[in-house]
């Protein structure tokens, strides 16, 4: 009888913005993962994580890191705590499953990268929705393989949409925290998905320009952005990212469960190449390629999708590095920090790479 995959014992630290609950659900669905311990320091978030993990939480996160039976540390804590926990995990020889956003500053992202590389542990940046969708994963493989030739333009509109009376501050107060804790507003939280996928497709651009806005009351009162735009200059073409959260007048009152329904996620990708055009709506049942409507079931036939966790365990077992490893994730933070610099300077062009690793919002 064939044996199943090796099971890795995973300890989960953090439940910032309920992300720990999402990570717990995702890891429970992984044949190679066994959730064995969890911790959250915020009393508001402990009950949700306990319920999601179906176990009592430990007295401290350090207790999980020091447990010799734990193979992998999953981090879903506040962005400003991730470098500290990643360094502690790497020093203990634990591999790292780091849920988005990667870090609150480029300095912290560089610390995480150094920690993982110096300790020779594997790290994956768990950044679902864009990378973790089979349609966009296969499209990424095709673009990298050169199936469509030279790009001439790229656009991604990506937002979560809500009723105007959605009580965001009650459900997700972390989204309104200072940049020193969160890294920024929705260009950080939502924009990181779009940034990561653009970098996966095309690599780092030469320059960026950006704008950010706070037109939803929750955000304007807190002084953080709920929406932003990034223009990336690749020399031969531009890429445009629109990302954030929008209150729509057409939507009726909703709770968190409603907000998390994919029908309320506006995600449209337009890829133009010299001789091909592709329109992707990841949460639809079709895509358009050169004007032809293709059913998702047909497009994905025989495609072997590898989740972020599977990429991590493959790397642990001597396989290729995860698609979004520490260096790729750090590049994403660098581009985000450049975007914030531009937005603070009325859309000024910012050249990459950056020397200063600080967060310009702090």
- Which residues face 292 on adjacent strands? 289
**Cα–Cα distance for residue pair 311/319, rounded to 1 Å:** 8
Cis check: omega of the bond before 263, within 30 degrees of 0: no
Closest CA to 61 of 177, 47, 46: 46
**Cα–Cα distance for residue pair 211/229, rounded to 1 Å:** 5
Q: Where are the domains of the chain?
A: 8-128+308-325, 134-304+336-344
What pLDDT does residue 152 have?
98
- Which residues face 197 on adjacent strands? none
Q: Name the CA radius of gyration of the chain, rounded.
A: 20
Read off the pLDDT of each residue in 282-296 and give the average, rounded to a whole number. 95
What pLDDT does residue 110 have?
98
**Cα–Cα distance for residue pair 18/40, rounded to 1 Å:** 11
Closest CA to 313 of 20, 1, 4: 4
Read off the pLDDT of each residue in 4-30 and give the average, rounded to a whole number. 95
**Contacts (Cβ under 8 Å, ≥6 apart) of 355:** none
Q: Is the predicted pLDDT of residue 5 greater than 80, yes or no?
A: no
Residue with tokens 């933070």: 333
Give the count of beta carbons closer than 10 Å to the beta carbon of residue 120: 8
Q: Please report, for the chain, how many H helices and E strands are present, in that order.
A: 15, 14
Output the CATH code of domain 134-304+336-344. 3.30.360.10
Element housing 51 (H / E): helix 46-53
Starting at the edge strand that comes first in sequence, how are the strands of the sheet with 123-126 ordered?
Answer: 33-39, 8-13, 72-75, 95-99, 123-126
Read off the pLDDT of each residue in 179-187 and give the average, rounded to a whole number. 96
C-alpha distances in angstroms, 260 versus 21, 43, 159? Answer: 13, 23, 12
Banded model confidence at residue 131, pLDDT cuts 50, 70, 90:
confident
**Cα–Cα distance for residue pair 55/234, rounded to 1 Å:** 48
**Contacts (Cβ under 8 Å, ≥6 apart) of 107:** 357, 358
**Cα–Cα distance for residue pair 82/240, rounded to 1 Å:** 29
Give the count of beta carbons closer than 10 Å to the beta carbon of residue 274: 9
Label residue 183 left, alpha or beta by phi (over 0 means left) and psi (-120 to 50 means alpha): left
Per-residue pLDDT tens digits for 268-281: 999 999 999 999 99
**Cα–Cα distance for residue pair 3/85, rounded to 1 Å:** 34
Pairing of strands 238-247, 151-162: parallel
What pLDDT does residue 96 have?
98
Output the CATH code of domain 8-128+308-325. 3.40.50.720
Closest CA to 228 of 356, 118, 132, 335: 335
- pLDDT > 70 fraction of the chain, expressed in percent and rounded: 99
Closest CA to 27 of 308, 345, 252: 308
State both tokens at 239: 């890429």
Banded model confidence at residue 1, pLDDT cuts 50, 70, 90:
very low
Average confidence score pLDDT of the chain: 96
**Contacts (Cβ under 8 Å, ≥6 apart) of 152:** 236, 237, 272, 273, 274
State both tokens at 303: 């495609």
């Amino acid at each position: 009888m064939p044996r199943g995959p090796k099971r890795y014992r995973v300890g989960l630290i953090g439940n910032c913005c309920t992300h720990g609950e999402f990570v717990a659900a995702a890891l429970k669905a992984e044949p190679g993962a066994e959730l064995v311990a969890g911790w959250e320091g915020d009393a508001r978030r402990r009950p949700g994580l306990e319920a999601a993990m179906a176990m009592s939480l430990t007295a401290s996160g350090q207790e999980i890191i020091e447990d010799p039976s734990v193979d992998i540390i999953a981090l879903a804590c506040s962005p400003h705590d991730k470098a500290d926990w990643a360094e502690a995990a790497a020093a203990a020889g634990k591999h790292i499953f780091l849920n988005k956003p990667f870090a609150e500053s480029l300095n912290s992202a560089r610390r995480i990268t150094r920690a993982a590389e110096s300790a020779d542990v594997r790290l994956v940046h768990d950044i679902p929705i864009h990378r973790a969708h089979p349609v966009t994963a296969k499209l990424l493989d095709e673009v990298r393989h050169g199936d469509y030739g030279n790009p001439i333009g790229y656009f991604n509109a990506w937002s979560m949409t809500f009723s105007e009376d959605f009580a965001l501050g009650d459900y997700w107060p972390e989204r309104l925290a200072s940049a020193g804790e969160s890294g920024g507003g929705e260009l950080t939280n939502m924009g990181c998905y779009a940034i990561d996928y653009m970098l996966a497709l095309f690599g780092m651009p030469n320059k960026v320009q950006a704008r950010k806005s706070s037109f939803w009351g929750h955000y304007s009162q807190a002084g953080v952005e709920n929406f932003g735009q990034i223009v990336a200059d690749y020399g031969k073409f531009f890429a445009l990212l629109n990302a954030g959260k929008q209150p729509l007048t057409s939507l009726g009152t909703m709770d968190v469960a409603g907000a998390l329904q994919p029908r309320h996620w506006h995600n449209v990708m337009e890829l133009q190449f010299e001789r091909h055009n592709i329109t992707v709506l990841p949460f639809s049942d079709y895509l358009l390629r050169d004007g032809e409507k293709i059913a998702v079931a047909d497009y994905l036939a025989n495609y072997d999708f590898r989740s972020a966790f599977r990429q991590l365990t493959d790397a642990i077992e001597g396989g290729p590095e995860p698609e979004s490893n520490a260096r790729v994730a750090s590049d994403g933070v660098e581009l985000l920090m450049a975007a914030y610099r531009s937005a603070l300077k009325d859309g000024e062009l910012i050249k990459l790479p950056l020397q200063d690793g600080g967060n310009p919002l702090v």
